[in-house]
Amino acid sequence: MTTTEQKLTGHFIGDQQHTPAGEDIIDVFSPLDGSLLGAVPAASRQTTDQAVAVAQHAFERWSVTPIKERVQVLFRFKHLLEKNIDELSNLIHRENGKTISEGRAEIEKGIEVLEFASSLPQLFEQEKLEVSSGVDCEYKRYPLGVVLSITPFNFPAMVPMWTIPIAIGCGNTFLLKPSEQVPLTSVRLGELFSKAGLPTGVYNVLHGRQQTSEMLIDHPGIRAISFVGSTAAAQSVYRRAAALGKRVLALGGAKNHLVVVPDADREITAKNVVASAMGCAGQRCMAASVLILVGDTGDMLDRIINEAKNIKVGSDLGAIISDRAKQRIEGYITRAAQRGHAVPVDGRNTTVVGKENGWYVGPTIIAGVTPSDECACDEIFGPVLSVINVSTLEEALTIENNNPYGNAASIYTTSGAVARHFSEHANAGMVGVNIGVPVPREPFSFGGWNQSRFGAGDITGMDGIRFWTKLKKITTKWSATASKNWMS
C-alpha cells in the first residue's frame, strides 16, 4: 500500500466511507509544512449516482419526520461540536493552515447557524391567518428533495455550516462537495452527525474537483444548489444550474474597502484594520483588501504599519492554502514594487522555523496605490493591504462604489452623521461602522451584492429557510353559515 492509500479518506455516503476502486486520487497537503496530510477519491458518475440514490431514499422518511424531531438531531449535533471543538479546530488548522483559534472561531460561527436552525419550529409557527370571516390562509413549507452545497477552501467547517443545518432542518437530504483542498473536516462532521442520530443518508459528502461539481449540478436528482467560491466559478455554476431550471444561489469573491476619516479613533482603528486585513492570512471573503485614508489622518498609517510588523507569522498568522496561491500573492507584491509603490511591510519570502516547507506570506502593506492599480482591483486573497489616499469621503465612496464586487465595506469614524452617510451609500451587502469584518451574527443573514453573489437572497437567516423550502399557500373555509363574499 502506498502512503497515499494509507491516508485515504473516502466519500461519506449513507453513514460510511467509500473509496471506490478506479477513481482518481486527490492528495491533500497541509499548508503548515507542505506535508501529505491525506487523500480523497474524486467521485465518478457511478459514485455520484449512488450518493444521490442514497439521499433520495433517505428523503422519503426525513422529509416527513416532524420538524420538532428533526431539530432534536441539530441540538445533539451542536453538543457534539462543542465537545469536540479542540479536535475539530486542530483538523481545520492542519488542513487549511489557519491558526487553531481561527479554526475554533469558525466552528463557533457554524454553531450560531445551527442554533438558528434549531429554532425552525418557532420560526414556522405563525404562518396562518384568518383573512376573512371563516376563511384561513396558511403557508406550508416543504423541503425540496436532495440538495447540493459546493464549498471553498477557506472555511472548511463554517461555510458548509451556513447551509447544512438549515437545509436538513427544513427536511431536505444533503450532498456536500467540499473543496478538494480541505475535504477532511466535512467527513468528520458526517461522523458526528451519525453520532447525533441523524438518519442514514441525510448528510453525505462527495469529493472531487470542478468535474464532480458539474456532474452533481447536472444530475436530475439534485433539486437545488448552493455554491460559495470564486466569482468566475460562481458565475459558471449559476448559469449552469439556472439553464437547467434549478434553484441556485452562488456566492463569489470580494474586494472589500475600509475607509478611515480624520476623526477616527487612532488606536482602535489601527488594530482593527490590521486584524481585518491579516486575519486568516487574508483568505476570507470579508477581509479588508483596500484601505482608503481620507484627508489628514495623522499617524494612522504609521500605526497600521507598526501593528502589521508586530504580527508573528506561524503563531498569529497562519499559512497560505497552496504553493500556487503563495506564488500568486507574491506576484502581486512584486509587480506593485516594480511599479514604484512603497511596500513598508513586505511579506514575501517568509518562512517559519521548523516549517520551512510550509506556505507562508507575511503581512504586507502597499502604500500610495491608485484606484486603477491591479492590487486595488483584483481579489488577491492573501494578507495584503493596498492603501489609497484621497481628499474627500465622496472620492472614497466613488472608489468603493465602482468596484465590481459587493461583499463588505466599512468606515472608521466617531461621527454618527458620517457613519450614516457611508452606510447609506456604500455599494455592498454588508457594511461595518468601526468593524473591519462586518459579518452579521445570526439571525441576521449573510450575503453580498454585485459580483459577490449570483441569485436572489442571502445564504443564512430567513432567506436560507426560503431557499431550502417551497411554499404552499392553503386557503380553507370552515363556516356554519352560507355567507358569501368576493372570494367565496
Would you name the residues annotated as active-site residues? 285
Nearest residue (CB) to ligand NAD, 389 versus 452: 452
- Torsion, Cα of 247, 180, 53, 55 (10° steps): -70
Among 59, 62, 77, 153, which residue interacts with ligand NAD (rule: CB under 6 A)?
Answer: 153
What is the rounded CA–CA span in Å between residue 184 and residue 8?
10
Residue 233 touching ligand NAD (CB under 6 A): yes
Nearest residue (CB) to ligand NAD, 26 versus 396: 26
3-state secondary structure at position 460: coil
Residue 448 touching ligand NAD (CB under 6 A): yes
Whose CB is nearest to ligand NAD? 229
Nearby residues of 365 by Cβ (< 8 Å), 6 or more positions away: 304, 305, 308, 343, 344, 345, 384, 385, 387
CB of 446 to ligand NAD, least distance (A): 7
Nearby residues of 485 by Cβ (< 8 Å), 6 or more positions away: 132, 133
Give the chain's length. Answer: 488
Nearest residue (CB) to ligand NAD, 30 versus 179: 179
Could you tell me which stretch among 67-75, 230-238, 343-351, 470-478 binds ligand NAD (CB under 6 A)?
230-238
Number of residues that bind ligand NAD (CB under 6 A): 29
Report the candidate in 149, 223, 204, 203 with the shortest Cα–Cα distance to residue 179. 149
Given a contact cutoff of 8 angstroms between Cβ atoms, the answer to whether 468 and 143 are in contact is yes
Binding mask 375-394 for ligand NAD (x = CB under 6 A): ----x-x-------------
Residue 238 touching ligand NAD (CB under 6 A): no
Sign of the alpha-carbon torsion through 283, 287, 292, 294: negative
Residue 291 touching ligand NAD (CB under 6 A): no
Given a contact cutoff of 8 angstroms between Cβ atoms, the answer to whether 178 and 152 are in contact is no
Given a contact cutoff of 8 angstroms between Cβ atoms, the answer to whether 319 and 415 are in contact is no
CB of 450 to ligand NAD, least distance (A): 11
Cell of 90: 486542530
Residue 276 touching ligand NAD (CB under 6 A): no
Contacts by residues 21-29 (CB-CB < 8 Å, ≥ 24 positions apart): 23/47, 26/180, 26/183, 26/207, 26/208, 26/209, 28/95, 28/180, 28/181, 28/182, 28/183, 28/184, 29/322
Residue 328 touching ligand NAD (CB under 6 A): no
Nearest residue (CB) to ligand NAD, 185 versus 452: 452
Residue 209 touching ligand NAD (CB under 6 A): yes
What is the rounded CA–CA span in Å between residue 82 and residue 86?
8
Given a contact cutoff of 8 angstroms between Cβ atoms, the answer to whether 247 and 222 are in contact is no
Nearest residue (CB) to ligand NAD, 198 versus 234: 234
CB of 422 to ligand NAD, least distance (A): 21
Cell of 284: 476570507
What is the rounded CA–CA span in Å between residue 206 and residue 186?
10
Residue 253 touching ligand NAD (CB under 6 A): yes
Q: Which of residues 172-191 bind ligand NAD (CB under 6 A)?
A: 177, 179-180
Nearest residue (CB) to ligand NAD, 102 versus 346: 102
Residue 264 touching ligand NAD (CB under 6 A): no
CB of 394 to ligand NAD, least distance (A): 27
CB of 373 to ligand NAD, least distance (A): 19
Residue 236 touching ligand NAD (CB under 6 A): yes
Place of cell 462604489: 401
Q: Which residues bind ligand NAD (CB under 6 A)?
A: 150-154, 159, 177, 179-180, 209-210, 213-214, 228-230, 233, 236-237, 251-254, 285, 379, 381, 407, 448, 452
